[in-house]
């Protein structure tokens, strides 16, 4: 049932179609830039060296999980032109401001879809707790590592041990002031960390979060204020606040600040369970009740893959089945299980999260999903064949680009290619629904 006046013209060769409608959405994207990633990474390492990671807890480094890189390019030299365009767009996304990334998305939507002013839903990220102990139910048990480690896992463990050893060594030398044993290295290390400390302090000056006890990290603070400014000044930017319950003060800020709700500047909450915060923990129970009561939508990452792009023992925290009790206790909660669970091939036999999402949609009117980061034709083929025929799925699945993560999902993928792929597949009523109607209902617009 398309909205009146919201339709896509037929695609003409070498001519961008025109979209007529009051509001067209990119319902799942990111506009964070390289500054955030660098600042937060520096903050993590800085706190590890000081022995205050995470956030003054003094937790040991023994809990750091193996990192398993899983990013490969398939013969990039054979696709030099595509690769060049891909690298250029990654660079632009990395070094642009968040406001510039908003403008880039709108440029692409105007060029490919003919949209005069795209409304976007940028989701904040909170990566600080990447190496922190998990927040999980008491019954949760870490998965057992394989008896025989793969070469990738062995390399990852070696890398983790090396990084941990370096951090401990730097901490010890800085604590004892014994520069003699390492020659000039000790003095240089002290100077480096003094510079890092000044950078972190400078980035957080004048950027206090409006809540006592809110744990601040340099990258998070900068991202927070930049994206909140977008939500305050641009009516077609609807940011979601990234919430990790391990960050002191975060849940309280969402519930008490008055800045997360239907009037913005933050319009919803973003969860990223695979970093180690399980949705079933008591710390989040009050948050879900608050969101259900006040019409605040929640988007949760629902894929075994994601940031960081390597094996992680908490990936299963994103399983939609983990939200069953949450949904039973909060019947009016609107929640987007993002990425439609990703492809079953990444989850193993009997662990098709897409099927579980479809089932939850049938049981709860507030359950939504999106096809953000669905860059491969095979994945869209599966969705169209298996799920699109189901009315309750079709009416609650929205379009999202997952910009700027989409650059890493398929060699040569660009934002223009992504928008064009959805246009060619879902012309007319289907794309009207995905990009206009469904996100409007999810946001409560």
Q: What is the pLDDT of residue 169?
A: 65
What pLDDT, on the 0 to 100 scale, is given for residue 133?
A: 84
| pLDDT above 70: residue 326 | yes
Q: Between 162 and 87, whose confidence is greater?
A: 162
Which residue range is the domain that position 319 belongs to?
21-149+197-443
What residues contact residue 200 under an 8 Å CB cut-off, 6+ apart? 39, 42, 43, 46, 218
In the predicted structure, residue 154 carries a pLDDT above the cut 50: yes
User: Where residue 282 falls among pLDDT bands split at 50, 70, 90?
Assistant: very high
Q: Are 150 and 57 in contact (CB under 8 A)?
A: no
Predicted confidence band of residue 163 (pLDDT cuts 50, 70, 90) = low
Q: Which CATH number does the domain housing residue 289 bear?
A: 3.20.20.140
Q: Tell me if 156 is assigned to some domain.
A: no
Query: Which pTM value belongs to this model?
Result: 0.82
DSSP β-bridge partners for residue 310: 69
Determine the Cα–Cα distance for residues 332 and 365; give it in Å rounded to an integer: 8
* For range 211-216, the mean pLDDT: 77
What's the mean pLDDT in 141-151? 65
Confidence of residue 155 (pLDDT cuts 50, 70, 90): low
More reliable by pLDDT, 215 or 148:
215
Residue 378 has φ and ψ, to the nearest 5°, of: -65, -40
Residue in 341, 434, 432 with CA at minimum distance from that of residue 396: 434
- Per-residue pLDDT, averaged over 361-374, amounts to 96
Average pLDDT over residues 128-151: 77
Q: Once rounded to an integer, what is the mean pLDDT over residues 170-191?
A: 54
Composition of the chain by helix, strand, coil, percent to 5: 50, 10, 40
| Cβ atoms within 10 Å of 247's Cβ, excluding its own | 22
Residue 146: pLDDT band (50, 70, 90) is: low
DSSP state of 271: E
With respect to residue 370, please indicate whether it lies within any of the assigned structural domains: yes
* 309 domain residue, yes or no: yes
Least confident window among 63-72, 138-147, 394-403: 63-72
**Residue (of 82, 71, 29) closest to 412 by Cα position:** 82
- Structure token pair of residue 104: 């880039």
**pLDDT tier at 343, thresholds 50, 70, 90:** low
Percent of the chain whose predicted confidence (pLDDT) is above 70 = 67
- Rounded to an integer, the average pLDDT of 249-270 is 94
- CA distances, 12 to each of 5, 56, 430 (Å): 20, 59, 18
pLDDT in tens, 259-268: 999 999 999 9
Q: Give residue 33's pLDDT band: very low, low, confident or very high (50, 70, 90).
A: confident
**Which of 53-62, 225-234, 350-359 is predicted with the least confidence, judged by mean pLDDT?**
53-62
Residue 115 lies in a domain: yes
Residue 200's pLDDT band (boundaries 50, 70, 90)?
low
- Angle formed at CA 378 by CA 377 and CA 380, multiple of 5 degrees: 65
CB 392 within 8 A of CB 357: no
- Residue 192 falls within a domain, yes or no? no
d(CA 413, CA 403) in angstroms, rounded, equals 11
Evaluate whether residue 5 is within a structural domain: no
Q: Please provide the average confidence, as pLDDT, over all residues in the chain.
A: 78
Other CB atoms within 10 Å distance of the CB of residue 307? 17
Number of domains the chain is built from? 1
Higher per-residue pLDDT: 308 or 152: 308
Domain membership flag for residue 275? yes
Nearest 10 degrees: CA dihedral of 56, 57, 60, 64?
-90
41 versus 117: which is more confidently predicted?
117
pLDDT at 174: 59
Query: Does any domain span residue 158?
Result: no
Report whether pLDDT(50) > 90: no
pLDDT tens for 375-429 read: 888 889 989 999 999 999 999 999 999 998 888 777 788 999 999 999 999 878 8
Token reading at 177: 């002031």
């Amino acid at each position: 049932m398309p909205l009146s006046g919201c339709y896509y013209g037929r695609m003409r060769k070498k001519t961008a179609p025109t979209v007529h409608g009051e509001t067209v959405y990119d319902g799942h994207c990111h506009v964070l830039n390289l500054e955030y990633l660098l600042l937060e990474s520096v903050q993590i390492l800085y706190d590890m060296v000081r022995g205050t990671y995470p956030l003054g807890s003094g937790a040991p480094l023994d809990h750091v999980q193996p990192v398993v890189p899983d990013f490969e390019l398939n013969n990039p030299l054979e696709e030099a032109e595509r690769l060049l365009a891909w690298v250029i767009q990654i660079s632009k996304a990395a070094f642009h401001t968040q406001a510039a990334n908003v403008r880039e998305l709108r440029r692409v939507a105007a060029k490919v879809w003919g949209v005069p002013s795209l409304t976007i839903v940028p989701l904040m990220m909170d990566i600080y707790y990447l190496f922190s102990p998990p927040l999980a139910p008491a019954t949760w048990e870490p998965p057992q590592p394989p008896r025989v480690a793969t070469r990738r896992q062995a390399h990852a463990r070696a890398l983790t041990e090396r990084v941990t050893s370096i951090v401990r060594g730097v901490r010890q030398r800085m604590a004892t002031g014994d520069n003699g044993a390492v020659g000039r290295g000790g003095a240089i290390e002290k100077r480096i960390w003094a510079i890092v400390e000044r950078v972190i302090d400078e980035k957080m000056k004048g950027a206090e979060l409006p809540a006592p006890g809110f744990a601040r990290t340099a990258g998070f603070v900068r991202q927070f204020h930049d994206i909140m400014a977008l939500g305050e000044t641009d009516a077609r930017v609807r940011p979601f606040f990234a919430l990790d319950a391990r960050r002191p003060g975060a849940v309280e800020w969402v519930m008490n600040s008055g800045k997360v709700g239907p009037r913005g500047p933050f319009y919803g909450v973003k969860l990223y369970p695979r970093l180690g915060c399980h949705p079933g923990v008591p710390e989040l129970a009050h948050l879900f009740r608050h969101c259900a009561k006040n019409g605040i939508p929640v988007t949760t990452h629902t894929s075994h893959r994601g940031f960081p792009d390597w094996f992680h023992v908490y990936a299963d925290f994103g399983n939609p089945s983990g939200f069953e009790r949450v949904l039973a206790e909060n019947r009016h909660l609107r929640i987007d299980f993002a990425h439609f669970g990703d492809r079953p091939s990444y989850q193993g036999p009997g662990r098709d999260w897409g099927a579980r999402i479809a089932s939850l949609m049938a049981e709860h009117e507030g359950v939504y999903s999106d096809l953000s980061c669905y860059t491969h034709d095979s994945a869209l083929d599966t969705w169209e064949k298996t799920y699109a025929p189901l009315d309750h799925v079709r009416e609650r699945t929205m379009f999202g680009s997952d910009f700027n993560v989409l650059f890493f999902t398929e060699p040569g993928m660009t934002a223009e290619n992504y928008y064009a792929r959805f246009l060619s597949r879902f012309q007319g009523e289907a794309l009207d629904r995905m990009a206009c109607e469904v996100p409007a209902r999810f946001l409560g617009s």
